[in-house]
Each structure stands twice: as C-alpha cells, then as structure tokens.
Amino acid sequence: MQMTWKETKEYIRRDLYRNLASCTKRDAAKAFCSGRSMAGVLLYYRLCHYFAGMDRQNPLQFILHSFCYIRFRRLQYRCGIEMNQHTKIGYGLRLPHRGGIVIHPQAVIGNDCEIMQGVTIGNNIMKSRDGVAVIGDKVLLCAGAKIIGEVRIGSTVIVGANAVVTHDVPDHTIVGGVPARPIGMCDDRFVINKREDR
C-alpha cells in the first residue's frame, strides 16, 4: 500500500527520535546532508520508499527520486549496510552502529525495532530464495545475529549476539545460540527512545 507524504514524515520523525533522542528540523537537515550517518540512511530510505511506491511520477518526482536514490546508495556503501527501497519497515527503526548489516529486500520488519552491526536477515537458498523473515514489533537483533529463511519472529523479542535463527520465535522471548533456542523471557525495557515526549 502506498504511504502518504504525511505518513512518511511521521516515520522519519520517529526514526530520528529513536536514533538521536531528538527530531528537530535541524536534526533532519543534518541527516539529509550527512555523508556517513545511519540516521541519513534511514531518512533517504524513507524518501525512496515513498517515491518508489508511486504509480506514476511526474518529471519533478522522478528527479527527486533519482537524487534520493543516489544518496541512499552512497550512504549504504559508506555505512556498511545493504537494504532495498521497497523493503517494508515499520516506524522507529534504530541502527546504532555501522557495518555489515544485510536486509533482504522481501523481509518485513515491524515498529520500534533495533538492528546492531553484523546482522543478516536473509533467505535459505537450500529451501527457497524468496522465503524470508517477518519480524514483529520491538525486536532487538544483537551484534552478529543471523535470521535465515522463512521464519516469524514475534513482538518484544531479543535475538542474542551471533545467534542463528532458523525457526519461529514466539512473543516475549530471548533466544541465543546456534541454532537459536529460547533462553529467557523478555519485556520491552530494552527499547530506548520509544517516543517523543512533548
């Protein structure tokens, strides 16, 4: 479903707040002009996602989309992240560290999630190239975690460092190990900068 411009701005605002604990116009301008900012990656992802969802583009929209896409690709390269403008990602995504993050284009990620460095969300080529993860809300993927294949990760979940998830994970669970297994229960206290307090 095509996102409206109003929804896109709200998603940008929530992304900035989750990453910077602030979402002023100055923060947005800095992210827009940044050459190595993960907040900038997210801002340009949102803009590209908005333009890419349009059924038709007039020449001005095409030029704006092209500019944003070029910036988006450059920021991905500089920050060490691979993601697609068509990927469905909820508001409030937090990317606190750069490096080695790969998100499959067909993955679905919920609201207020956090992805650390070295995380891969990919397919299992031995089973299906199209089967990838659906991730719920308030999920923390710790450093080096791998989410492989067509799995469903519930809401309020922590995937431990270097864990390899190949099976579904229920809500309110902490998983760890290779392959990942439940090691505890989880609440959402790990979710920082959840909303702007005004």
User: Domains plus CATH for the chain?
Assistant: 5-80 (no CATH), 88-185 (2.160.10.10)
pLDDT surpasses 60 at 165: yes
Segments of the chain assigned E as strands:
81-82, 88-89, 101-103, 108-109, 114-115, 120-122, 134-135, 139-141, 146-148, 152-153, 157-159, 164-165, 173-176, 181-185
Q: Is the dihedral of CA 88, 135, 93, 39 positive or negative?
A: negative
Interval 33-39 mean pLDDT: 92
Q: Identify whether the C-beta of residue 115 lies closer than 8 Å to the C-beta of residue 95.
A: yes
> Of 97, 101, 75, 90, which Cα lies nearest the Cα of 14?
90
> Who wins on pLDDT, 196 or 23?
23
Interval 152-169 mean pLDDT: 97
Interval 139-161 mean pLDDT: 97
Interval 2-22 mean pLDDT: 95
d(CA 193, CA 168): 27
pLDDT surpasses 50 at 94: yes
Q: Identify whether the C-beta of residue 171 lies closer than 8 Å to the C-beta of residue 136.
A: yes
| Whole-number pLDDT of residue 198 | 45
Model pLDDT for residues 50-86, shown as the tens digit of each residue: 999 998 889 999 999 999 999 999 999 999 999 999 9
CA angle 84, 174, 148 (to 5 degrees): 35
Confidence category of residue 195, pLDDT binned at 50, 70, 90: low
Interval 167-181 mean pLDDT: 97
| Whole-number pLDDT of residue 57 | 82
Confidence category of residue 1, pLDDT binned at 50, 70, 90: low
To which residue do tokens 């691979």 refer? 82
* CB crowding 31-47: b at 16 or more within 10 Å, else e: bbebeebbbbbbbbbbb
pLDDT surpasses 90 at 45: yes
Beta-strand relationship, 146-148 and 164-165: parallel
Total residue length of the chain: 198
Please give the model's pTM, rounded to 2 decimal places: 0.93
d(CA 31, CA 163): 31
Confidence category of residue 128, pLDDT binned at 50, 70, 90: confident
Interval 79-98 mean pLDDT: 96
**Average pLDDT along the chain:** 94
